[in-house]
Structure 1
């Protein structure tokens, strides 16, 4: 792709593995059909291994614990297949692009735990595509086939691509979308065959449109892509019919995605959302808001650089060199600017929209920019293995300066809030590994650890030569990535399941076809997974502080409870009606609840109600 992402002042170091040419691959047989088949099979095998790794890491996840994000996507997929809705009002809107990928699972399976596990398999199948895409990217960066395959496996192991695949989150597939978008845009602007150019232009537009349909971060991607199309049309880089075709594809998917998301909004957010767009407007039009926005954006960039051991910093410098140095092909310059613009735009927009949640993750957060981590780490690795020593030294030094300066900016703005506010381990899978502390955030310890990793990578390339240097570098990076994901799984993912499984599920409490009502006062971290467990019909929600439980419309009522008083006192609106009794109680740090059930009706009444309730959609 970006064929020389290193500063021009340092030149390039020639590849030391045997190769016929930079574009023909490793070894004289690479251009032969047998050579292509061998590499295709190797990539397929690597993809299978990556899928297996992801499935293995996710094997302990049995329920949505990253609430409300996971439940938002699960509910969206459920309603798209005719299943019951839920009330997500006053919360963040979760878009429909990712849930569309999960609809086959919901259409075929009903058990909530099985559905959840299969959704993680979908994550693995799609997320592992980072491997072949990273291989193509590294080849376009100028690496030999052997080196490209070696380091593509390293890129595919990044926690940014593996850890989030352990949850039903759009972050599991966004890295693939971003890589595919940029590679197709590059093919369109630099390819030679008009048919391939046109197909790539349409493909890039569809992926940009899908990114917008899947997540609000995609709004930045689709805007950047639209600017790219406009510039290509004005500069006449490609025939206007190709640009028009790409623009039509972009517009069509944008409109279709808008209709999809409008439907999901109407069903899941009947009383409105939490107005993130309002936050965005207020923050970008007030001095205090601008201070918040740019400080948090710097924190996101700090995390991106430090969390990748400095490699993303090298990648940003490489893209910056392509974008602003003389002699860069204008089309490649435009692509480099598209990357930089997307990263900056996402950092600023998400920081401006983010509500103040009184948590450390407000000020340093890596998830929003994680979708660009594979791209930037690939560019950073290319700088390491292709650039001269002077260039590598300059880039590593500049990355260290940026990490220190951005860390200082975060510390200056956030102050003691980095220690006073709530620390959520889920927000810090990489930083917690770097500091070996999953209970507190350590800004400078993480900064130093990330820069030490960068220094070790530089020394490995300088101290060793040829094949040995590449193997040692790739092995070290892979070990670090696996260590990050492995410890994050052990210290974050699995404990969350152990914490919430006993108190946030209605499995064994609610019976299929039973009419269930849940008190709105039950904490949302418990209430939303409960509603997900009730797959057969819509759960009725009510405010137990102001409303009596809907005893005429429910067979099971879950009420909020202090966990201290007698469970019978959980029925706050007078005495429970005759025939209602307690069937389950749960007490936890996150909240407590009591489940009340109506006494079993007569067999004749039960048969009548079952007959009346057969309006459940097919498959549910």
Structure 2
């Protein structure tokens, strides 16, 4: 899977020797393991440092859904987050050690983020392997891999207990192992080792399925490719059969795990994505929604990677249709395209219209592919003929502007009345330096301007290549730092001020039985339910009923103009107000026995 197989014609060896490319003589492979180890530690350290301000789950109900599942798997109490999207058990299995190592909810959460950092930093190693297969010499592959691993798409979500923190590693690892299985020389590698590649790819594809619904697209494409390889006689049936068996076994185990978790977290039912998906994909109105929203995700993928994922996407498309590319590589390129389109349009179809700007331009669902396509895009700039690079950049620019115009036509006039969450727009917030609003055309132009600078740098020979890689490292590091400081840190401060219970519970006293008024804003009570880590919360309706008689700490909704002491008319003797909050997220009062 060298650059020539996934991109237009690479520069000649003579041009590289003249310093007109990024292909210096490689150092022996054994010397690069220490560099990869150091690089992994640096990448993990950056992630841990940027996540240092995170203390409670705020990207909810997603974060709490995974944390509650992990807590449940370690013998902790059940929790009620009914009617939200059902969160799968694969990612909670990864963060189980956080609950084994600590009891304090803050320490547990921070430990989970350290696990995110350690796993997410492996993206450096995987991207290095990809770039070596694309034809870059080791020094260049190492620099570009660092840039790919520092993208906000790869770093931002490691600051939250979300599958997005590790999905980029899982999917790139899947693609590398699948390529090894498809393209390895069975005579030199041996049939057993080749089959092991297929089994490893199957394990990662199925693990993606156990983590998130996006994995359904991945596992479907994976099984289809296994069968195509067997039918085309690229690999024997027994080798493909092992892959199918591993995929089925892991996916079945994940389904059984979910079947145990979901009744305990969603006792009153969960959001049914399946019916919404079927409705959207079987009606004209549904397609009228799904296609533009899916294209909006592709727009964000391109703009949020400074245009370079667009170059990578063009290269993959070229590999899929270009004659002369080995059929196995063409099949793998088709698999990437189908996974990307499947994720974009399936997630667009399955989600309701929440009157959010993110319904029309959103990057999180395709962030799992962003580092891979970014790395391919940079490899194209460093190896392809300049005329081809210019043609690809022009095509990416035209597509990006066209999709932006579609977004503007469909929803731009309504953006002022839609909900804007800074969490939804890390990259575009950085591009426009606007953290409290969405600027479609400013983000589009800024992303394409960075693409133009990258293309110009790549045309400058070896010095230009150094400038390109160094510039991408700097931009990615600044962008990832800026998103942490301007989105993640304020987000946590605001939600901690609104929901924190730490001052209401005496660590030295027996832990109280907690009852929560279900009419308190859900953004608040879902965090409080996580903070009550020692037992199951009981619920009541403060408008119609009284708290349970056995409760020791009771949280009431606090209506405007009502004194805190009047939130519980007829409170039994011995109860008193011990805390209250009035915030933009909601108001509540705490009573203690």
Is the structural similarity TM-score above 0.5?
Answer: yes
Q: How does 1:92-241 map to 2 (within 5 A)?
A: 92-192=85-185, 193=189, 194-241=191-238
Residue 11 of structure 1: how far off its partner (Å): 4.8
The whole-number CA distance in structure 2 between the counterparts of 1:286 and 1:294 is 12
Residue 510 of structure 1: how far off its partner (Å): 3.0
The whole-number CA distance in structure 1 between the counterparts of 2:15 and 2:33 is 23
Give the aligned CA root-mean-square deviation in angstroms.
Answer: 1.6
Residue number in structure 1 paired with 2:496: 501
| 8 Å Cα contact 2:203/2:246 also seen in 1 | yes
Structure 2 residue 461 is the aligned partner of structure 1 residue 465 = yes
Structure 2 residue 418 is the aligned partner of structure 1 residue 421 = yes
Q: 2:444 aligns with which of 447, 451, 471?
A: 447
| 8 Å Cα contact 1:15/1:386 also seen in 2 | no
| 8 Å Cα contact 2:340/2:369 also seen in 1 | yes
The whole-number CA distance in structure 2 between the counterparts of 1:7 and 1:243 is 28
Residue 474 of structure 1: how far off its partner (Å): 0.9
> Structure 1: which 5+ residue stretches go unaligned?
599-620
Change (3 A) 1:222 1:2: farther
The whole-number CA distance in structure 2 between the counterparts of 1:146 and 1:152 is 10
Q: 2:514 aligns with which of 507, 516, 520?
A: 516
Select between 252-261 and 562-571 the one with higher mean Cα deviation. Answer: 562-571
Q: List structure 1 segments (4+ residues) > 4 angstroms apart after TM superposition.
A: 5-8, 15-19
Change (3 A) 1:11 1:556: closer
| 8 Å Cα contact 1:233/1:240 also seen in 2 | yes
Residue 277 of structure 1: how far off its partner (Å): 1.4
Residue 105 of structure 1: how far off its partner (Å): 1.4
Deviation sequence 1:45-100 (CA, Å, 0-9, x none): 11010011001111111111111111111101100100011101011111111110
Change (3 A) 1:15 1:407: farther
Deviation sequence 1:361-398 (CA, Å, 0-9, x none): 11100000000001100110111011111100100000
Q: 2:58 aligns with which of 65, 86, 100?
A: 65
The whole-number CA distance in structure 2 between the counterparts of 1:465 and 1:46 is 26
Deviation sequence 1:274-295 (CA, Å, 0-9, x none): 1111111111112211111111
Residue 6 of structure 1: how far off its partner (Å): 5.2
Residue number in structure 1 paired with 2:269: 272
- Report SS of the residue matched to 2:72: helix
Residue number in structure 2 paired with 1:326: 323
Change (3 A) 1:415 1:26: closer
Residue 359 of structure 1: how far off its partner (Å): 1.0
The whole-number CA distance in structure 1 between the counterparts of 2:69 and 2:542 is 26
| 8 Å Cα contact 1:516/1:540 also seen in 2 | yes
TM-score between both structures, scaled by the size of structure 1: 0.92
Residue number in structure 1 paired with 2:305: 308
The whole-number CA distance in structure 2 between the counterparts of 1:362 and 1:185 is 33
Change (3 A) 1:419 1:207: same
The whole-number CA distance in structure 2 between the counterparts of 1:509 and 1:554 is 14
Residue number in structure 1 paired with 2:559: 562
> Structure 2: which 5+ residue stretches go unaligned?
none
| 8 Å Cα contact 1:2/1:332 also seen in 2 | no
Residue 16 of structure 1: how far off its partner (Å): 6.3
Residue number in structure 2 paired with 1:12: 11
Q: How does 1:514-593 map to 2 (within 5 A)?
A: 514-550=512-548, 552-571=549-568, 574-593=569-588
Residue number in structure 2 paired with 1:618: none
Deviation sequence 1:485-504 (CA, Å, 0-9, x none): 11111111110111111221
Residue number in structure 1 paired with 2:337: 340
The whole-number CA distance in structure 2 between the counterparts of 1:26 and 1:97 is 42
Deviation sequence 1:544-571 (CA, Å, 0-9, x none): 2333211x22111111112431112322
TM-score between both structures, scaled by the size of structure 2: 0.96
- Report SS of the residue matched to 1:326: coil
